[in-house]
Chain A
C-alpha cells in the first residue's frame, strides 16, 4: 500500500524538486534528482508575471463554489427521484440525461456560446456556472441514484408510518445516509470545475471572466523560454488551494462515512 501510494505522488515530488532547482540542473544531460542549492527564482518569476492571478483565482473560486452547491442540491433531489420514486416517463428522463452525458462537450461549445450571448452572460461567472452545473449534473445524478438504491426501503416506510410527508422523508431520513455520496459529488464537481479549460477559454475573454485554468496556459506560452522551472513552480502553487479544499473535505468525508457506518 505504502509503495503504491508513493508511486502516485512521484510526479508531484519531482515537480516540487524541479521548481527549486536552478536551470542548469533542470536541463542537464544526466538527470539530477535533488537540487544542489535551492532557488526560489521560478516562484518569483511566476508571481510577478501573474498580475491577474488574484482575479483569476477569485473567478475560479466563485464559479466552482456555486457549481458545486448547485450540483449537489439538484443531483440529490433528482437522484432520489430516479431511485426511490415512481412517475411517468421515468425511463425517458433517465435516457435523456444519459444522452447529455455521452456527447463530447466540444460540440456544445458553439451553441452554448450563442445562447449565452443572447442573454449577455458571456464573460461572467454565471456564464460558466450554468453550463458547468448542466454538465456535472448527469454523472452526479447517477452517483446519487446509485447510493440511494442501496438504502433499504424499509427506512422510508418506517418514516411514513411515523407521519413524515414525502419531503421530510427525503430530508430527515434519506439524505443523512447519503453523506458519502454527497461528499463524492462535491469532490468530483469541484475537480471538474476548477480545472475546466475548454469552455472557460471560449466563454470568457478578459481577466474579469477568465479562470485560473485559462490563466495558467498564458503562463505556459509566455514562459516558453526555460519553461520547466516556471511550470513546476506554477503547478506547485496551484496545488496549494486544491490541497486546502481537499484536505478539509477529507475530514467531512470521513465524518460522513463514520456516521453512515454507525447508523447502518
Chain B
C-alpha cells in the first residue's frame, strides 16, 4: 500500500520519515484525541477501582484489595449465571443476526423499487428506544392477555405453541433473543447494504457474460466482496450480544430467578444498587476483555481471507 506522500522509502533523511507521518496524524488526531481525553480518565479510574473495595455510600475511600474482586467473581453464583446467560444469548443471537440480516439484505437488493419501503419497515424497530418498546413487548408476550398468544391460540389454533413467554426460565431467554433480533435486524441489514452497494457493477456484468447463474453470482462475487461488512457487522453484533442490557432489564429484570440475568445487568446492579464500585468495575473489565478477545478474533478472521 503506497502512502500518500508517495515517495520512495528512503530512511536517509530523518525528516522524510517524520513528514510522512503528517497526513496520518492529521486525520487521526482530532478523533483520537477526542476519545482519549474523554475516556482516559474514566478508563484509568475504573481500572484502578477494580482492584479495590469501595462501597460508594459507606466507605470513606477505596481500599486496595488486589485481585480479590476478580477472584470473588468466580465464586459468585449469580456472576456465573450471568456469564452463562450472556454466552447463551450470544450463541443464539449472533448467528441469527448475521445470517438473517445477510439474507434480508440480499433479498432487498433484488426487490428494487419497493425496497425503501420494506427497508424502512424493518428498520423502524431500531429507531424506537427499547425503554418504550420493551414495555409493549412485556404486554404482547403476556401469557394470558398478550397479543402473541392470542394469535397463536385463538387465531391460528396453535394452542400448544402459546407459552408463558416471560415467566418461564427457558422461554424468557428465547423471547429476549427474539425481541433483540426484531430490534436490531434493520441495523445490520443497513450495514450489509452499504457494503453491497459498494460492490462494483462490472463484476456482476462480467459474471453474467460468463454465464454464471444467480446463486453462483452470490457465492463467488457478492459474498467474498462483503468481507469488510462481515468484520464491521461482526464486531457490532458481538458487542450487542455481550453488552446486552436493556432487553432483559426492561422485560424480565433478569428473572425469573436468574434465567435472564446478563453480565451487564449484574454489573449495573453491583454498581448502582449495591454501590460496590470496585467489584462492579472488575466485572466491567472482564466483560470488556471478553468483547476485546472476540473482536480481535473477528478482525483476524476478516484479514485471513
- Is the CB of B124 closer than 8 A to any CB of chain A? yes
Q: A149 to B228, Cβ gap below 8 A? A: yes
Distance of A15 Cα from B135 Cα, bound (Å)? 11
- A interface residues, how many (CB within 8 angstroms): 102
Distance of A264 Cα from B198 Cα, bound (Å)? 7
Q: A1 to B107, Cβ gap below 8 A? A: yes
| A4-B122, A160-B4 as given contacts; A191 in contact with B127, CB under 8 Å | yes
- 1/0 per residue, CB under 8 A from B, across A6-34: the answer is 10111110110000000000010111000
Q: Which residues of B contact A101 (CB under 8 A)?
A: 235, 239, 291, 295
Distance of A112 Cα from B277 Cα, bound (Å)? 14
- Is the CB of B140 closer than 8 A to any CB of chain A? yes
Q: B292 to A104, Cβ gap below 8 A? A: no
Q: A8 to B125, Cβ gap below 8 A? A: yes
- 1/0 per residue, CB under 8 A from A, across B182-198: the answer is 10011100110111011
- Is the CB of B285 closer than 8 A to any CB of chain A? yes
Q: A184 to B194, Cβ gap below 8 A? A: yes
Distance of A79 Cα from B130 Cα, bound (Å)? 29
Q: Which residues of B contact A137 (CB under 8 A)?
A: 31, 34-35
Q: B287 to A103, Cβ gap below 8 A? A: yes
CB distance from A21 to the nearest CB of B (A): 13
| A150-B198, A264-B198 as given contacts; A141 in contact with B124, CB under 8 Å | no
| A2-B118, A93-B28, A238-B132 as given contacts; A106 in contact with B284, CB under 8 Å | yes
Distance of A150 Cα from B228 Cα, bound (Å)? 7
Q: B232 to A143, Cβ gap below 8 A? A: yes
- 1/0 per residue, CB under 8 A from B, across A71-99: the answer is 00011011011101111101001001111
List CB contacts (< 8 Å) of A33-53 with chain B.
none
- Is the CB of B98 closer than 8 A to any CB of chain A? no
* Interface-side segment among B36-44, B67-75, B162-170, B210-218: B36-44
CB distance from A198 to the nearest CB of B (A): 9
Q: Enumerate 11 A-B pairs (CB-CB under 8 Å) in ascending A order.
A: A11-B182, A14-B147, A29-B144, A70-B34, A85-B3, A85-B27, A99-B43, A104-B243, A108-B46, A115-B41, A137-B34
Residues on A close to B: CB < 8 A? 1-2, 4-6, 8-12, 14-15, 27, 29-31, 70, 74-75, 77-78, 80-82, 84-88, 90, 93, 96-104, 106-112, 115, 130-131, 133-134, 137-139, 141-143, 146-147, 149-151, 153, 156-157, 160, 166-167, 169-170, 180-181, 183-184, 187-188, 191, 194-195, 197, 213, 216-217, 220, 228, 231-232, 234-235, 238-239, 242-243, 246-247, 250, 254, 257, 260-261, 264
Residues on B close to A: CB < 8 A? 1-6, 20-28, 30-32, 34-36, 38-39, 41-43, 45-46, 104, 107-108, 111, 116-133, 135-137, 139-140, 144-147, 150, 154, 182, 185-187, 190-191, 193-195, 197-201, 225, 228-229, 231-232, 235-236, 239, 243, 245, 264, 267-268, 271-272, 277, 280-281, 284-285, 287-289, 291-292, 295-296
